[in-house]
Amino acid sequence: MNAGAAFTVYPAIDLRAGRVVRLQQGDPLRETGYSGTPLQIAQQWLAAGAAWLHVVNLDGAFGDDGAANALALASILRSGARVQFGGGLRTLPAIEQALQLGVERVVLGTVAATEPALVAAALAQFGAHRIAAGIDARGGEVRIKGWAAGPGGSASALAATLQAQGVRTIIFTDVERDGMQQGLNLLETCALARSSGLQVIASGGVQAASDVHAARAAGLAGVIVGRALYEGQVQLPALLRELAADDARGVRT
């Protein structure tokens, strides 16, 4: 758990063919487009006070051509943002290229579940502070390859394996809630954090600022917020002011 450590709100920038979109439950046929200018979106969230951005190459996750998203990522990085980036990073050269481009931390998804040797190599070469693992689950079972397949095994078992390898940070996404604005699955997310001892960033389903406050109160390391920001259910400046005021008072809401 995250007792005593900084709590981070990560605005999500999901990229498809160079555009900013959100999917419902990871389904490419249930897409909502928000902007054709990712840099403008990045600047918007930075101006609102974001310390980090969570950027996802959806095309890479689905195994499609990610050239347009690579250009979009480069433009986002020119904003000076601290970027946590994932989607389709399945080789050591791809990981290295992202980090050399200026990404602060990469998120390994499919390979975290299927290629432990690659995870070990990435940790050894770049350090645990630059490598996070994404655990995406439906009904507690791990999903991979853009959530289209399942290798078998539980999220908790995978988290234990990653912790033993030296991973420090995981992003846990409840696939059934992602993009649905039904609230975070805090019960499962917190159970994963307790059992693994890892820093866990919650993802999938934020519908209101209260979800973010609840995640911090539960001792999680952070929350990724997507559709609720883009559609106005969460106002980022107000949320960050509330969190900062609570910090100043020593209160964990």
Please state the rounded mean pLDDT for residues 43-50.
97
Residue 1 is assigned to a structural domain of this protein: no
* Side-chain half-sphere exposure of 28, counting CA atoms within 13 A: 15
Query: Do the domain assignments include residue 2?
Result: no
Q: Would 90 be classed as within a structural domain?
A: yes
Asked, for residue 3, whether it belongs to a domain, the answer is no
pLDDT at 68: 94
Q: How many domains are contained in the chain?
A: 1
Query: Is 170 a member of any domain?
Result: yes
Q: Is 27 one of the catalytic residues?
A: no
Q: How confident is the model at residue 33 (pLDDT cuts 50, 70, 90)?
A: confident
What phi, psi does 212 have (nearest 5°)?
-70, -45
What's the pLDDT tens digit per position in 205-237?
A: 899 999 999 999 999 999 999 999 999 999 999
Position 149 scores a pLDDT of: 56
CATH of the domain at 26: 3.20.20.70
Judge whether residue 124 has pLDDT over 90. Answer: yes
Segment 65-94, tens digit of pLDDT: 889 999 999 999 999 999 999 998 999 999
What is the reported pLDDT for 248? 80
Would you say 83 and 167 are in contact if contact means Cβ atoms under 8 Å apart? no
- Tell me: the pLDDT tens digits for 128-153? 999 999 998 887 778 876 555 566 67
Burial of residue 234 (number of CB atoms within 10 Å: 0-12, 13-18, 19+): buried
Q: Which of 59, 136, 174, 211 is catalytic?
A: 136
Is the pLDDT confidence value at 109 over 80?
yes
pLDDT of residue 92: 97
Farthest CA pair distance, the chain:
48
Which pTM does this prediction carry?
0.91
117 domain residue, yes or no: yes
Is residue 231 included in any domain, yes or no? yes
The yes-or-no answer on residue 136 being catalytic is yes
Which of the following is catalytic: 14, 59, 174, 178?
Answer: 14
4 Cβ contact partners less than 8 Å away, ≥ 6 residues apart? none
Considering the domain boundaries, does residue 120 fall inside one? yes
Range of the domain at 16: 8-249
* pLDDT score of 40 more than 60: yes
For 153-212, write each residue's pLDDT tens digit: 789 999 999 999 999 999 999 887 655 567 899 999 999 999 999 999 999 889 999 999
Q: Are the CB atoms for 2 and 194 separated by under 8 Å?
A: no
Give the pLDDT mean for 27-47.
87
What integer pLDDT is reported at residue 64 of this predicted model? 81
